[in-house]
Amino acid sequence: MTYIEGPRPPGCFFCQAAGADQSQEAEHLVVARSERCLAILNRYPYNNGHLMVAPLAHLGVLEDLEPAIASDLMALTQRAIRVLRSVLTPEGFNVGINLGKVAGAGVIDHVHQHVVPRWNGDTNYMPVIGEVKVLGEHLERSYEKIRAGFDSMT
């Protein structure tokens, strides 16, 4: 809740990640790039392995994406699902795009698609009672495993 209700850091973190060189990718949680998009691990995940796939360019309106960018966004999303399925063995996925603040978009001016691995029983009472989300693995460890999965499936 502190993050959700708190002030946002300046700039677009998708654009910052897109502009990062290879030595900075871990800092920005970039797990993969394609010609027009990137996949990054969500710093504030709903679940272990929660990825976001976004265009490299700062584009905020889904229906205005050029066909090549939209196609690349979907292709990288498919690749992300294959990698997550291999590395984390989830039982299912939530995949989606929140358009507009009222729809739950935390970043309203840079289109991105969420890829959230799901397991039976992965929800519990902790977010309601304790105002915390329990994750079974540290973010850095998830990054290492998922990045290695993308690197091995190039």
The residues carrying an active-site annotation are 112
Largest CA distance in the chain: 45
Give me the residues paired with residue 57 across strands: none
DSSP code string of 13-60: HHHHHHT--GGGTTTTTEEEE-SSEEEEE-SS-SSTT-EEEEESS---
CA angle, corner 77, sides to 72 and 81, nearest 5?
150
CA 139, chain centre distance (Å): 12
Give ∠ CA 10-15-19 in degrees, rounded to 5: 115
CB 113 within 8 A of CB 77: yes
